[in-house]
Structure formats: C-alpha cells, structure tokens
Amino acid sequence: MSERTAHGHEPRTVLLRGGEVHSPADPFATAMVTQGGSIAWVGSESAADSFADGVDETVHLDGALVTPSFTDAHVHTTATGLALTGLDLTGVQSLRDALARVRDYAASRPGDKMLLGHGWDATHWPEGRHPTRAELDEAAGGRPLYLSRTDVHSALVTTALLELVPGVAQLTGFADGEPLTRDAHHAVRDRAHASLTPERRAEAQRAALDHAASLGIGDLHECAGPGISGEDDFTALLSLAAEANGPRVHGYWAEPVTSPADAARIRELGALGAAGDLFADGSLGSRTAHLKAPYADAPHHGGAYLDADAIAAHVAACTEAGLQAGFHAIGDAALTAVAEGVRAAADRVGTDRVRAARHRVEHAEMPDAEVIAAFAEFALTASVQPGFDAAWGGTEGMYAARLGAERAAGLNPYAALQRAGVPLAFGSDSPVIPLGPWEAVRAAAFHRTPEHRISVRGGFTAHTRGGRRAVGSDDGGVLVPGAPADYALWRTGELLVQAPDLRVANWSTDPRSGTPGLPDLTPGAQLPLCLRTVVAGRTVYERPNE
C-alpha cells in the first residue's frame, strides 16, 4: 500500500492518494498530506501531483476510505484487556455453557490464586437463573472466583473469595444466594483486582490498547475511580499509554470534589476531571438504577447513590477549580437529580461558567424532556453507548423485562438529544459492550425504537469529533488542514448517506449538497475493515499484508 523512504524514523511528511477522504473541507477529496502530527492539505488527485516529489512517504490508498480515527468516550481499559485475554462469558447462551466455560478456564490456569471473569447475563438463559455459589465453587475447583455481570454492577463469587473479605455479609448489597451489588460488590471487586500482578495488569492494558488501535480507535476515555479500579491501575495505564505507540488515553477519576485540595489531588493523579463513573445510581440489568416508578420485575425503585445536594456541591467545586465534573446516571430519578444538582450549582457559580466547563453525564439512558432541556441549557455532554440498545433494547430485550415495553421504548433517545443541541459523545463502556465503533454508529442509526434514530453522519460525528470535543480538543476528530493527523484507513464498499428521514437522505446524495458519504451500515451489511490507524502522525496499527 505504501512506498516508504529509507529513513530510520517515522516519515515527517506523508501523501495519501487514490482513495476517498472523508473531509468537510472537500467532500470530493481523494488525497491528503500530513506534516508531522498535523494535516497540511486535503484535495483532489490531480492536485496531489504537486506534492509527490516533496514527501517522505506516499500511501497509495487503492480506493480505501480515510476517516478521522474514532474516540471511545467510555472505557475500562484493564477490565477490557482481562476480558480479551481471560475468562469472558459475553454471549454465553445458557447456565450449562457458562459453568463449562468457568471449568475449562480454571483448568487452563492452575497456577492462578484468583480467577477473574466477566460478561454473564442470565436474562434469557433457558434455565432462567444464574449459577449458584455451590455450582461456581465446583466449577472453579474451590478457588476464589470473581465473575462480574455484563453491566459490571453486580457479580457472582465463590465461597473462597467471600472468605477473603471479612465482614462482607454485613455490607449493603449482600444477599445470600444472589449476585452482590453496591458496597458488597465493591469490596469483593477490590479484593479480586488486588490480586493482579503489575505484569498481568500491564499485559491486559496492552491487549486492550492494541485491540482498540486495530479497530481505528485513536483515543480512549478511561473511566476509573475508587471501587472501579485502584489508583495504581489508573496511573500505570496513563503512564503506559504515554510511553507506548498506541491510542491516547484521557483519564477520568470518579471521586467527589468539595474543595480546592480535592481538585488538586484529582489533577495529581493525571486525570482530566472528577467524572466518568461517579455513580448517581447503578444499572438497569442489576436493578440498581434509580427509577421514579418501580421496576416491572422487582418491587422497588433501585436507589440513589448521590442526591441533588451532593451533585450540586461537586459541580460547583469542580467549576470553580476549572475541572470537568461528571456522573454516571441511568435511571430517570437519577437523571432528574443530576439536572437539579447542576442547576443549583449554576445558581451558585454562574451558568456561563458551568457551560464553559463542559461537564458530562455517562449513559443518560432515561432522560425526560426536562432533563434533556437541562442538558442543553448547561452544555452537558451526553456520553452515551448505542451498543446498549442493540444488546438490550426491543420488545423482548432486557430493558422491556426490567421496565415493561412502554417505558423501555423511551430509553436512549438520541434523536431528541441531538435536536435539543445536546453534545453527544459515543462510546462502548467496554467490557460491558465490546469495542466496536462502526457497530455503535450502526446501533444509533438503526435504533430499535425508530423515533430515536439519528443519521449515520450524526452518529459518526459523535464517535469522532464528539469524543474529542468532550476532552476540550475542538480541532480534533475531523480531517481538515491544521487538525491533528489522527486518522484511519478502511477497506469498505460503496459510500452512502443514510438518514432516518428519506427526504434528507435523498437531498444529501445530490452532488449539490456536498455531503461526503460513509459506509453502508444497514444491519447485515459487512462493516469496514481497518487497514491502518494513525495517531498524531504515527502509525499505531497496520493490518498485516496490507
């Protein structure tokens, strides 16, 4: 694909030509020049001839598509790597298969003193239940086992692990025979993750970063914090990413801030903000998201982890310190508390200052019209995961089981958020949903509830420019002169303009509209294949034999 000069270092100037360049600067561009870490020029094939003799490398695209690299705005990197390299029950279809997978993994790791696994979801298993502790004790051979549910808000554990956490039975979220939630879950998770050696942790982190690069992802937002991953894990990841030739990692640490000293400590950790998974509530799958009306399949509302006063204090303190604030909020009651808290903080420190800080809310699955209006008013970024709807939406999905079909149909209203002017940043919440940016854009464009669908272009923008803007990089996520040289090359089929409104789609395909096309993401169509990923002008992934 390329002609490389015999320099002993990365080329300083690169010409890409003979493809399709997705750029608002020139919707018909077929070529691009980068200098160092920036884009220098975008234009036509004929104009590219004038650059050919003055570059260090020429990349012959052979019809490949060039796009901005993706940003995944919500990732748990170490856990992603552990799922990639260890026991992953994602997609397992039955209790029997899950136990067999645990049994095989335990046999393959005879020297491990702690077994770690992820991804089970018994919602549609034919047995109608999750494994008992006795069954897991047998499958794990009596060893400690931590097995997180797919949403990572509850876990199954063996007796041997419980014995390593004195007093766990007295903590909130412990119910004998049931998955652990809340404080009990956090306590066993901390103990399980403490077993990781630095070498095993680094192996997992490298695996996750390499996998992200192979999918055209150039930036990851790591959502860490107490009870999720330790400070050592967080700082080691940031250090590894800074030294490695891979995607950038932007770190968020989810700890409340009430003073300048708190804000300074967040910065000392290397975090961009006290945001990410600062839990206002839990999850729908584990029935810990905070709802205004009871669950359809349980006689309770979930619960609040933070109230509006605590949210206001955090947002005000972060705003005054010039630090991003943010929360994990899923249920309608939790999102209302976030909206009320942000409004109270704005009354205290000023609306303009709150808007300028670009605070963010993760997941935001059940916003009503008032919450959406508040997000727009205070410029809150909605960091959302379209893969949730693909995995759990629809009339037969987990959402309907937890909420009933009527309430479930209101979840993840991307079109309403977009119409209101709410900034969107797409992510996966990996390992909850596997890394896969094109899959996420497809899920948003073909949402299981038609009125929530947005165009492929809108979803693509949320997964590229939206994620970069969420970390304050207004020039990133787009291929125009002066922007960072962050891009990916793709083998793909015909380029289209796909939008929920056929009138828009028809106009957008008219050459007069100047709308650059994107791959066909119709369900069942083959997704683009990543050939190369480049971050700041450096190649961080190249597909073998390309």
Structure tokens at 4: 């490389």
Same domain, 350 and 453: yes
Same domain, 329 and 453: yes
Structure tokens at 123: 């919602």
Within a domain: 33: yes
Helix, strand, or coil here: 443?
helix
Cβ 276 vs Cβ 224: under 8 Å? yes
Contacts of 46 (CB under 8 A, 6+ apart): none
Other C-beta atoms closer than 10 Å to the C-beta of 198 total 10
User: Quick one: pLDDT at residue 111?
Assistant: 87
H or E element, residue 162: helix 159-162
Within a domain: 385: yes
Contacts of 232 (CB under 8 A, 6+ apart): none
DSSP result, 200-269: HHHHHHHHHHHHHHHTTEEEEEEEEBTTTB-HHHHHHHHHHHHHSSS-EEEEEE-----SHHHHHHHHHT
Give per-residue pLDDT as tens, 465-496.
999 999 999 999 999 999 999 999 999 999 98
Distance CA 173, CA 186 (A): 9
Same domain, 374 and 399: yes
Within a domain: 203: no
- Angle at which helices 332-349 and 308-321 cross, to 10°: 50
Same domain, 426 and 531: no
Domain boundary among 441, 471, 501: 471
Contacts of 104 (CB under 8 A, 6+ apart): none
Distance CA 61, CA 54 (A): 18
Distance CA 542, CA 532 (A): 4
Distance CA 77, CA 85 (A): 12
In tens digits, the chain (546 residues) has pLDDT values of 654 433 345 558 999 999 999 999 999 999 999 999 999 999 999 999 999 888 999 999 999 999 999 999 999 999 999 889 889 898 899 999 999 999 999 999 898 889 999 889 998 899 999 999 999 999 999 999 999 998 888 899 999 999 999 999 999 999 988 999 989 998 998 898 888 889 989 999 999 999 999 999 999 999 999 978 889 999 999 999 999 999 999 999 999 999 999 999 999 999 999 999 999 999 999 899 999 999 999 999 999 999 999 999 999 999 999 999 999 999 999 999 999 999 999 999 999 999 999 999 999 999 999 999 999 999 999 999 999 999 999 999 999 999 999 999 999 999 999 999 999 999 999 999 999 999 999 999 999 999 999 999 999 999 999 999 999 999 999 999 999 999 999 999 999 888 886 554 444 444 445 678 999 999 999 999 999 999 999 999 999 986
Same domain, 120 and 180: yes
Other C-beta atoms closer than 10 Å to the C-beta of 409 total 19
Same domain, 145 and 267: no
Within a domain: 279: yes
Distance CA 519, CA 425 (A): 20
Same domain, 134 and 267: no
User: Quick one: pLDDT at residue 194?
Assistant: 86
Residues 285-313 as b/e (b if ≥16 CB within 10 A, e otherwise) read bbbbbbbeeebbeeeebbbbbbebebbbb
Domain boundary among 444, 471, 498: 471
Within a domain: 215: no
For the entire predicted model, the pTM comes to 0.90
- CATH code where residue 158 lies: 3.10.310.70
Same domain, 57 and 120: no
Same domain, 488 and 365: no
Peptide bond into 484 cis (omega under 30): no
Contacts of 545 (CB under 8 A, 6+ apart): none
Same domain, 440 and 301: yes
DSSP 526: P
Evaluate the CA torsion angle 392, 397, 401, 404 in order and state its sign: positive
User: Quick one: pLDDT at residue 6?
Assistant: 35
Within a domain: 272: yes
Full residue range of the structural domain in which residue 164 is found: 79-194
Cβ 460 vs Cβ 517: under 8 Å? no
Same domain, 65 and 87: no
Burial of 521 (0-12, 13-18, 19+ CB in 10 A): buried
Q: What is the domain count for the chain?
A: 3
Within a domain: 476: no
Phi, psi of 180 (to 5 degrees): -80, 140
Within a domain: 233: no
Query: Which amino acid, 83?
Result: A
Domain boundary among 439, 471, 503: 471
- CATH code where residue 362 lies: 3.20.20.140
Same domain, 366 and 384: yes
Cβ 521 vs Cβ 204: under 8 Å? no
Structure tokens at 418: 């977009």
- CATH code where residue 511 lies: 2.30.40.10
Radius of gyration of the chain from Cα atoms? 23
